[in-house]
């Protein structure tokens, strides 16, 4: 178990270094002029130029630049955005909103995605199953920003059920529509995956064994089948987190939520390179850390992995 | 193999999903190549009049006018080109990288396989949309048209397809005819290209069809975010623009959104239908 | 007199996309306490479906029981409500499956799986059930049972895993134990150990044992009676002593001739010509007729009934007399 843990941890570190290196290299070297990449087409004053050169050590060789950048990331020294505000301040203020939003979205995915998938699998071929298969396919084929803008138009502007943009005075309720938008894609994929997994496991030999022991159907499905079916679903949730992060950027942008994703959205539109590259790198870090946790959870769920 | 693909084709011909999705894909490709067939107004050169701003759909202008007073129908028709072109070009790049990497990893195995697997992990460690934003952003100042987005998607979007190639290459490698070719003294390159590759292509083609749909979705999202292709008519840009005026009118948003979704969905369903036909296990 | 378990004219079909497969076409047999009945046949002969029908674990649909009765201690299991039917499983009739690796749930410890039935069905508390699981594992001769009770199925060897399956089947003290090809997946030496164990347990507990197999060698050592199945029918039934030296059905004879024997080298080893029939389109008449070397026109038209011969043995063949006395 500890060997497995160590190996996975090492892999995650390698992946993190590699992934941030690629992102950093893409940002600063393919464009030719790193200053332009950072600031876009905005004219830069000499003092801004000097500040950016110093902040990113642009007068040093590339690999040294990357080294400084990584050091800053790991030590929490994120530098300043083009606007001049320390990035750390912006992040500190934005995190809670994004966490509230994503937790709500994940809760939706788990409750409706998994429950819906299990129900569809048990009623295979019936109306609920057929309808949910068709609807989830449509959701999977619809880009998040289309779902976001259409839902905003339909449920907020036309029907008036929700506010069309962030309203902090509503408390958590302001996140309901954005959380639905953010979670819908994962809900659809998760539901289909759960359904497939449960259908497959219902056919497994161990289900017949459990039936031969005289166990009630409830217990066979609820304990034997479900426990096995959740193994691929848990891995999916880890892999899906990347899409969820991109989705958070789009969703928070559409609904004007000043969370991490919203800041990234604004950063892209305002051509704030330092803010964009820092947030992307941090999100990669979180993505990989979460996947590490998911892997451990996977090992906990599947003894065949644990005892190789 | 021959009988398998015959069976698959037999099943496909009877699948309505395959026909509907295929038809939509054909239609979109036609729209992208000869938009003039569908619209008498050339959205690239047409002058828009602010006096038409947000005018509702009518018999002569089916989809109405957007905020700038441009004909939404014409823009939707001409918007297909950017999506389809970016989708195909980036899928080609991703497909070539995926096939090269997957073939090498699966055929050679050993340390090279391990190394390439780490490489795939690294690329999978970059959430697709975030990575594409950074790439497209970094290149966006250079007036390169669709290429920054094509490069961003192709360069980041290959690892999952590479895994598909790798696993089918590994199973093809152990087939008798490959062993026979080896005994007969064929070179590794010849075995890889003549024997292993053609027999492991079907799964990755299916995967790439689905990928193409996803790339079109990403292209529109990047356009929506403001880092898409410059100076082209694009569904994503039009949706972003329409969203700003959503309190005044929703139809300029709904039409491009519907076309975009139909296109993405068509590619995903086409891939799904072909995969179902080729993989009887999933029935 | 009531038998412990008796099948009467059991008919099962599978409704598939390509049509209706007639899997069981009137199977009748019985088994009593302390007795071993072997169901012998090729794959597709219906022997495993018979076992699943008795256990009530057929997948319905596509399977459907068309007719017949399954009498256990005088009660027709097919007529019982699901609740009472379930009570029979495990406690009345238990089953050991062929491939223990897939038949055991991969994510639970073997101890948990053995104890599960005890906890759910007899209300034993967790601790007592775990103790009982260790006892059962010791009884099936798993070394170091107290430690291995915490291991997962994939950590056991094939033979040990099959012992776990047996321990699990014994947990509720069944009166009938059905073993479906219990040794097919195992090495020859391990096969013998598992068969010995099954026999020992049967004798010790006075259970009835139904052994499902395609292996004539296994049958000869352990069975009291043999029922030979072909295309969903029992074509011959006899005691081991009667059947081996003098088969009464050409199919049984062909099976015996295709079996390698150590002592008799005078006869050439033969294989049975042709394939078992497609259950979607069973030929008219005797289902064995296309492969039968002595088939008559009658055999292609009329299904031979299962008739009782001397000594109570049964055979379903128009030329059974000639087969018995060796003249055909």
CA dihedral of C294, C296, C298, C302, whole degrees rounded to 10:
30
Residue corresponding to tokens 């994120």: A78
Query: CA-to-CA distance for B94 and B208, rounded, in angstroms?
Result: 8
Please count the CA atoms within 13 angstroms of the CA of B121 that sit on its side-chain side. Answer: 19
Task: Give the pair of three-digit tokens for residue A108.
Answer: 């939706």
- Checking if the pLDDT of B4 tops 60, the result is no
Task: Give the pair of three-digit tokens for residue C166.
Answer: 């047996």
Optimal mutation site among B25, B83, B134, interface A, most CBs of chain A within 10 A: B134
pLDDT tens digits, C168-181: 888 888 899 999 88
A contacts of C91 (beta carbons < 8 Å): 214
Give chains near A: 3+ CB pairs under 8 A.
Answer: B, C
Query: Is C249:C236 a contact under the CB 8 Å cutoff?
Result: yes
Optimal mutation site among B138, B158, B228, B238, interface A, most CBs of chain A within 10 A: B138
pLDDT for res C210: 92
CB contact under 8 A, A206 and C102: yes
Give the model's confidence band at B95: pLDDT under 50 very low, under 70 low, under 90 confident, else very high. very high
Give the model's confidence band at B2: pLDDT under 50 very low, under 70 low, under 90 confident, else very high. very low
CB contact under 8 A, A208 and C103: yes
Q: For residue C65, what are the β-bridge partners?
A: C12
CB contact under 8 A, C106 and A302: yes
- Among C259, C262, C232, C249, which residue's Cα sits nearest to residue C291? C249
Average pLDDT, integer, range A49-62: 77
Phi-psi region of B266 (alpha: psi -120 to 50; beta: other; left: phi over 0): alpha
Element (H, E) at B227: none
C contacts of A224 (beta carbons < 8 Å): 105, 108
Phi and psi dihedrals of C296, rounded to 5? -105, 175
- Among B156, B142, B134, which residue's Cα sits nearest to residue A272? B134
Q: Name the residue facing A143 among B123, B217, B227 (closest C-beta).
A: B217
Instruction: Give the residue on A whose Cα is nearest the Cα of C177.
Output: A212
CB contact under 8 A, B253 and A153: yes
Q: Are strands C208-213 and C233-239 parallel, antiparallel or unpaired?
A: unpaired
Of the listed ranges A255-259, B158-162, C212-216, the least confidently predicted one is C212-216
- What's chain B's average pLDDT? 83
pLDDT for res A307: 67
Which residues, in sequence order, are CB contacts of C291 under 8 Å at separation 6+? C251, C254, C272, C273, C274, C275
Q: For residue C180, what are the β-bridge partners?
A: C212
- Among C181, C190, C179, which residue's Cα sits nearest to residue C43? C181
pLDDT for res B1: 42
Query: CA-to-CA distance for C240 and C218, rounded, in angstroms?
Result: 11
Q: Name the residue facing B221 among A37, A145, A269 (closest C-beta).
A: A145
Task: Give the pair of three-digit tokens for residue A49.
Answer: 């130029």
CB contact under 8 A, A141 and B139: no
Q: Name the residue facing A276 among B137, B220, B221 (closest C-beta).
A: B137
Which residues, in sequence order, are CB contacts of C323 under 8 Å at separation 6+? C247, C248, C249, C250, C253, C294, C315, C317
Task: Give the pair of three-digit tokens for residue A137.
Answer: 């396919």
CB contact under 8 A, A307 and C120: no
DSSP assignment, residue C310?
Answer: G
The SS3 of residue A32 is: coil
Task: Give the pair of three-digit tokens for residue A308.
Answer: 């190789």
CA-CA distances (angstroms) from residue B70 to B233, B260, C207?
Answer: 12, 19, 86
CB contact under 8 A, B118 and A18: yes
Query: CA-to-CA distance for A202 and C189, rounded, in angstroms?
Result: 34
Q: For residue C96, what are the β-bridge partners?
A: C179
CB contact under 8 A, B243 and A253: no
C contacts of A201 (beta carbons < 8 Å): none
Q: Which residues of C15-26 are buried (b: 16+ CB within 10 A; e: fewer)?
A: eeeeeebbbbbb
pLDDT tens digits, B172-206: 877 777 778 777 777 888 888 887 888 778 888 88
CB contact under 8 A, A280 and B121: no
Task: Give the pair of three-digit tokens for residue C135.
Answer: 């006892």
Query: CA-to-CA distance for A272 and A78, rounded, in angstroms?
Result: 14
Give the model's confidence band at B145: pLDDT under 50 very low, under 70 low, under 90 confident, else very high. confident
pLDDT for res C223: 85
Q: How many CB pairs under 8 A join A and C?
A: 81
Query: Is B118:A14 a contact under the CB 8 Å cutoff?
Result: yes
Give the model's confidence band at B140: pLDDT under 50 very low, under 70 low, under 90 confident, else very high. low
pLDDT tens digits, B105-130: 888 888 888 899 888 988 988 888 88
B contacts of A140 (beta carbons < 8 Å): 265, 268
What is the DSSP code string of B94-154? Answer: HHHHHHHHHHHHHHH-HHHHHHHHHHHHHHHTS-HHHHHHHHHHHHGGG--TTHHHHHHHH
pLDDT above 70 coverage of chain B, percent: 94
Query: CA-to-CA distance for C72 and B115, rounded, in angstroms?
Result: 62
CB contact under 8 A, C86 and A224: no
The SS3 of residue C155 is: helix
Instruction: Give the residue on B whose Cα is nearest the Cα of A253.
Output: B225
Report which of residues C268 and A209 the model is more confident about.
A209
- Among C201, C194, C205, which residue's Cα sits nearest to residue C162? C194
pLDDT tens digits, A105-119: 989 988 899 999 999
Q: Which residues of A237-275 are buried (b: 16+ CB within 10 A; e: fewer)?
A: bbebbbbbbbbbbbbbbbbebbbbbbbbbbbbebbbbbb
pLDDT for res B173: 79
Query: Is C183:C218 a contact under the CB 8 Å cutoff?
Result: yes
CB contact under 8 A, B227 and A268: yes
pLDDT above 90 coverage of chain A, percent: 18
Query: CA-to-CA distance for C307 and A102, rounded, in angstroms?
Result: 74
The greatest distance separating any two alpha carbons of chain B, rounded to the nearest whole angstrom, comes to 77
Task: Give the pair of three-digit tokens for residue B225.
Answer: 């975010």
Instruction: Give the residue on A whose Cα is nearest the Cα of B269.
Output: A137
pLDDT for res B282: 44
The SS3 of residue C180 is: strand
Q: Name the residue facing C97 among A209, A216, A231 (closest C-beta).
A: A209
CB contact under 8 A, A211 and C91: no
pLDDT tens digits, C58-86: 877 788 888 888 888 888 888 888 888 88
Query: Is B48:B54 a contact under the CB 8 Å cutoff?
Result: no
Query: Is A156:A163 a contact under the CB 8 Å cutoff?
Result: yes
Query: Is B120:B58 a contact under the CB 8 Å cutoff?
Result: no
Q: How many CB pairs under 8 A join A and B?
A: 169
Say how many C-beta atoms besides its own lie within 10 A of residue A276's C-beta.
29
Q: Is A280 on the interface with B (CB under 8 A)?
A: yes
Average pLDDT, integer, range B60-65: 77
Q: What is the ipTM of this complex?
A: 0.83
A contacts of C102 (beta carbons < 8 Å): 204-206
Angle at the Cα of C284 (from C282 to C288), degrees rounded to 5? Answer: 65
Give chains near B: 3+ CB pairs under 8 A.
Answer: A
Q: For residue C209, what are the β-bridge partners?
A: C36, C177
- Among C76, C94, C67, C84, which residue's Cα sits nearest to residue C12? C67
Instruction: Give the residue on A whose Cα is nearest the Cα of C110.
Output: A303
- What's chain C's average pLDDT? 84
Q: Is the dihedral of CA C156, C159, C164, C168 positive or negative?
A: positive
CB contact under 8 A, B246 and A242: no
DSSP assignment, residue B186?
Answer: -
B contacts of A30 (beta carbons < 8 Å): 135, 138-139
Residue corresponding to tokens 């302390």: C34
Query: Is C175:C1 a contact under the CB 8 Å cutoff?
Result: no
Say how many C-beta atoms besides its own lie within 10 A of residue A169's C-beta.
7
Instruction: Give the residue on B whose Cα is nearest the Cα of A17.
Output: B122
Give the model's confidence band at C267: pLDDT under 50 very low, under 70 low, under 90 confident, else very high. low
- Omega before C39 cis (within 30°)? no
C contacts of A205 (beta carbons < 8 Å): 97, 99, 102-103
A contacts of B121 (beta carbons < 8 Å): 11, 14-15, 18
- Omega before C62 cis (within 30°)? yes
Give the model's confidence band at A308: pLDDT under 50 very low, under 70 low, under 90 confident, else very high. low
DSSP assignment, residue C89?
Answer: B
- Among C146, C176, C144, C140, which residue's Cα sits nearest to residue C159? C140
Q: Is the dihedral of CA B26, B32, B37, B40 positive or negative?
A: positive
- What's chain A's average pLDDT? 85
CB contact under 8 A, C154 and A303: yes
pLDDT tens digits, A212-225: 888 888 889 888 99
Task: Tell me whether residue B282 is exposed, middle or buried, using C-beta atoms within 10 angstroms of its C-beta: 0 to 12, 13 to 18, 19 or more.
Answer: exposed
Element (H, E) at C230: strand C225-230
Report which of residues A58 and C96 the model is more confident about.
C96
Give the model's confidence band at B277: pLDDT under 50 very low, under 70 low, under 90 confident, else very high. confident
pLDDT for res B82: 86
CB contact under 8 A, A143 and B260: yes
Optimal mutation site among A14, A33, A39, A143, interface B, most CBs of chain B within 10 A: A143
Query: CA-to-CA distance for C302 and A224, rounded, in angstroms?
Result: 48
CB contact under 8 A, B123 and A243: no
Query: CA-to-CA distance for A81 and A71, rounded, in angstroms?
Result: 17
CB contact under 8 A, A243 and B127: yes
Task: Give the pair of three-digit tokens for residue A69.
Answer: 């950048």
CA-CA distances (angstroms) from residue B227 to B40, B142, B243?
Answer: 30, 12, 17
Query: CA-to-CA distance for A103 and C254, rounded, in angstroms?
Result: 69
Min Cα distance C9 → chain A (Å) is: 23
- Please provide the size of chain A in residues: 308
Q: How far is CA C73 from the centre of its chain?
A: 19
Average pLDDT, integer, range C210-220: 84
A contacts of B221 (beta carbons < 8 Å): 143-145, 246, 250
CB contact under 8 A, B236 and A273: no
Please count the CA atoms within 13 angstroms of the CA of B164 that sit on its side-chain side. Answer: 22
Optimal mutation site among A214, A215, A225, interface C, most CBs of chain C within 10 A: A214
């Amino acid at each position: 178990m500890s060997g497995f843990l160590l190996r996975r941890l090492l892999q995650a570190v390698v992946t993190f270094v590699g992934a941030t290196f690629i992102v950093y290299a893409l940002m600063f070297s393919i464009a030719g002029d790193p200053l332009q990449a950072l600031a876009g087409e905005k004219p830069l004053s000499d003092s801004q130029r000097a500040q950016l050169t110093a902040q990113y050590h642009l007068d040093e060789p590339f690999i040294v630049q990357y080294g400084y950048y990584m050091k800053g990331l790991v030590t929490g020294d994120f530098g300043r955005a083009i606007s001049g505000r320390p990035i750390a301040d912006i992040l500190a203020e934005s995190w809670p909103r994004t966490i509230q939003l994503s937790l709500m979205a994940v809760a939706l995915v788990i409750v409706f995605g998994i429950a819906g998938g299990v129900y569809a699998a048990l009623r295979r071929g019936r109306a609920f199953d057929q309808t949910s298969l068709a609807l989830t396919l449509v959701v999977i084929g619809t880009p998040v920003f289309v779902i976001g803008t259409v839902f905003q138009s339909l449920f907020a502007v036309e029907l008036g059920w929700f506010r069309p943009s962030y309203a902090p005075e509503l408390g958590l309720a302001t996140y309901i529509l954005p959380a639905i938008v953010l979670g819908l894609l994962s809900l659809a994929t998760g539901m289909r995956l759960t359904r497939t997994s449960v259908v497959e496991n219902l056919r497994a030999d161990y289900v017949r064994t459990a039936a031969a022991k005289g166990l009630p159907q409830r217990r066979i499905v609820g304990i034997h089948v479900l426990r096995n079916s959740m193994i691929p679903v848990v891995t999916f949730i880890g892999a899906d987190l990347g899409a969820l992060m991109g989705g958070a950027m789009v969703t928070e942008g559409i609904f004007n939520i000043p969370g991490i994703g919203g800041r990234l959205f604004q950063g892209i539109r305002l051509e704030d390179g330092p803010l964009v590259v820092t947030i992307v790198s941090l999100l990669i870090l979180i993505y990989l850390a979460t996947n590490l946790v998911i892997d451990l959870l996977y090992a906990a769920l599947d003894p065949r992995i644990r005892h190789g | 193999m021959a009988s398998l693909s015959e069976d698959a084709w037999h099943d496909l011909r009877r699948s309505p999903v395959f026909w509907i999705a295929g038809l939509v894909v054909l239609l979109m490709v036609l729209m992208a190549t000869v938009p003039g067939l569908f619209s008498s107004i050339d959205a690239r050169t047409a002058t828009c009049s602010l006096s038409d701003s947000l005018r509702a759909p009518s018999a002569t202008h089916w989809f109405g006018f957007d905020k700038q007073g441009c004909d939404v129908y014409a823009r939707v028709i001409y918007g297909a080109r950017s999506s389809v072109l970016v989708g195909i070009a980036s899928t080609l790049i991703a497909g070539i990288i995926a096939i090269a990497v997957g073939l090498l990893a699966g055929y050679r195995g050993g340390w090279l396989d391990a190394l390439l697997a780490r490489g795939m992990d690294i690329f999978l460690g970059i959430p697709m949309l975030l990575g594409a934003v950074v790439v497209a952003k970094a290149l966006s100042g250079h007036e390169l048209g669709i290429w920054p987005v094509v490069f961003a998607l192709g360069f980041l979007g290959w690892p999952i397809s590479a895994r598909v190639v790798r696993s089918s290459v590994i199973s093809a490698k152990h087939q008798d005819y490959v062993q026979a070719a080896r005994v007969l003294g064929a070179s590794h390159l010849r075995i890889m290209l003549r024997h292993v590759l053609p027999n492991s292509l079907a799964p990755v083609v299916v995967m790439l069809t689905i990928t193409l749909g996803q790339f079109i979705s990403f292209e529109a999202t990047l356009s929506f975010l403001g880092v898409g292709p410059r100076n082209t008519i694009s569904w994503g840009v039009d949706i972003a623009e329409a969203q700003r005026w959503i309190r005044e009118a929703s139809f300029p948003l709904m039409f491009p959104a519907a076309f975009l979704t139909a296109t993405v969905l068509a590619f995903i369903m086409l891939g799904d239908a072909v995969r179902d036909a080729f993989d009887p296990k999933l029935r | 007199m009531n038998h412990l378990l008796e099948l009467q004219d059991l008919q099962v079909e599978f409704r598939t996309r390509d049509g209706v497969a007639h899997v069981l076409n009137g199977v009748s047999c019985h088994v009593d306490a302390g007795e071993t009945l072997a169901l012998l046949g090729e794959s597709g002969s219906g022997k495993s479906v018979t076992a699943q029908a008795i256990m009530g674990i057929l997948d319905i649909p596509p399977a459907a029981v068309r007719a017949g009765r399954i009498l256990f201690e005088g009660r027709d299991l097919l007529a019982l409500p699901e609740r009472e039917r379930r009570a029979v499983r495990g406690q009345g009739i238990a089953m050991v499956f062929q491939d223990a690796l897939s038949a055991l749930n991969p994510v639970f410890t073997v101890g948990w799986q053995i104890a599960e039935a005890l906890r759910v069905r007899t209300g034993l508390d967790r601790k007592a059930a775990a103790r009982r699981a260790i006892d059962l594992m010791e009884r099936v001769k798993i070394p170091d049972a107290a430690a291995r009770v915490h291991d997962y199925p994939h950590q056991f060897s094939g033979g040990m895993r099959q012992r776990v399956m047996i321990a699990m089947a014994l947990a509720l003290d069944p009166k009938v134990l059905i073993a479906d090809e219990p040794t097919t997946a195992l090495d020859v030496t391990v096969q013998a150990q598992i068969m010995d164990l099954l026999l020992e347990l049967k004798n010790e507990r006075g259970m009835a044992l139904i052994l499902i197999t395609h292996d004539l060698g296994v049958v000869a050592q352990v069975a009291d009676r043999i029922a030979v199945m072909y295309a969903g029918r029992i074509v011959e039934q006899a005691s081991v002593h009667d059947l081996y030296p003098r088969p009464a059905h050409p199919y049984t004879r062909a099976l015996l001739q295709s079996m390698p024997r150590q002592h008799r080298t005078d006869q050439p080893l033969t294989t049975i010509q042709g394939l078992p029939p497609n259950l979607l389109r069973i030929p008219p008449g005797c289902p064995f007729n296309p492969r039968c070397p002595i088939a008559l026109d009658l055999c292609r038209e009329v299904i031979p009934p299962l008739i009782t011969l001397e000594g109570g043995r049964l055979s379903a063949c128009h030329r059974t007399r000639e087969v018995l006395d060796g003249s055909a």
